[in-house]
């Protein structure tokens, strides 16, 4: 029994359950540094970790009424086709680090443009939500990072009046189908360590359930503070 993997899964799961953030930005570095996985295998394993772990968190948040399903559907309308297209391109051409760097830069520009557009064009939120989903679909499929941290940032920009626990619940619900589709794509490329994944999930599934329950009981200001801290931490990890 790999207790390090189980404890790592529990810790990341609890953080994701409380904030919706940290799956890729925390787990991928752990897989690379602690478990010494090849980068491609780390990404594929993390995608399956996120898909299965966040299924438990999504169910908990749904039962608590924290998921805005209309917003989730709009995000998926962009992210699922983008993920399928990205994985198909990976099959035919392969993906370089240069691609990921260019996409990260492009994402930063897109976020700034989104913020400006939201400020002046509130009526275009549905279209912008789909576009944000498209960006997330490409980025998550390439790096496994973004479904939580960047997704939550986009939701906060697009829907500033949405309560923090609803941002967390909606972000997690969107991440489940997206990471599953991307994970299936990576599995077809042989990029998943199934044995390690099993150990991580033993810890993460109870961890995310506990985290989601805590979110229901914590004051709104505390949830928002934890969300902001998680976003800053994730952002710094992505930059470095």
> What digits encode the pLDDT tens for the residues 116-142?
555 555 556 888 899 889 988 988 888
pLDDT at 48: 95
Which own/partner pairs from 96-99 qualify as long-range (CB within 8 Å, at least 24 positions apart)?
99/142
Provide mean pLDDT across the span 136-165: 83
Q: How far apart are CA 36 and CA 29, in angstroms?
A: 10
Q: Mean pLDDT in the chain?
A: 81
**What pTM, to 2 d.p., does this model score?**
0.77
Of 24-33, 187-196, 216-225, which has the strongest mean pLDDT?
187-196
pLDDT tens, 59-112?
A: 888 988 989 999 999 999 999 999 999 888 888 876 555 555 555 555 555 555
pLDDT at 224: 65
Per the structure, how many domains does the chain have?
1
Residue 233: which domain range?
3-239
For residue 47, which of 171, 149, 155, 146 has the smallest C-alpha distance? Answer: 146
Q: Does residue 114 have a pLDDT over 60?
A: no
Confidence of residue 234 (pLDDT cuts 50, 70, 90): low
pLDDT at 237: 56
Cα 176 off chain centre by = 8
Q: Does residue 225 have a pLDDT over 60?
A: yes
* 226 or 190, higher pLDDT: 190
pLDDT at 187: 93
pLDDT at 91: 80
């Amino acid at each position: 029994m790999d207790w390090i993997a189980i404890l790592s899964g529990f810790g990341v799961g609890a953080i994701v359950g409380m904030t919706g953030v940290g799956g890729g930005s925390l787990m991928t570095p752990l897989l690379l540094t602690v478990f010494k996985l090849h980068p491609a295998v780390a990404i594929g394993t993390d995608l399956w970790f996120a898909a299965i772990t966040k299924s438990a968190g999504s169910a908990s948040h749904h039962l608590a009424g924290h998921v805005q399903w209309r917003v989730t559907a709009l995000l998926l309308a962009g992210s699922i086709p983008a993920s399928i297209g990205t994985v198909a391109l990976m099959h035919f051409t392969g993906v370089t680090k240069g691609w990921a760097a260019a996409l990260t830069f492009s994402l930063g520009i897109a976020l700034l443009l989104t913020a400006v557009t939201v400020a002046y064009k509130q009526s275009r939120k549905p279209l912008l939500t789909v576009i944000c989903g498209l960006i997330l679909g490409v980025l998550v499929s390439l790096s496994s990072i973004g479904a939580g941290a960047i997704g939550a940032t986009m939701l906060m920009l697009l829907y500033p009046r949405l309560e923090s626990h609803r941002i967390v619940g909606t972000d997690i619900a969107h991440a489940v189908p997206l990471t599953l589709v991307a994970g299936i794509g990576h599995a077809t490329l042989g990029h998943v360590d199934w044995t390690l994944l099993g150990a991580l999930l033993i810890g993460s599934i109870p961890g995310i359930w506990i985290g989601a329950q805590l979110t229901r009981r914590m004051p709104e200001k505390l949830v928002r503070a934890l969300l902001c801290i998680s976003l800053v931490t994730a952002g710094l990890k992505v930059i470095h």
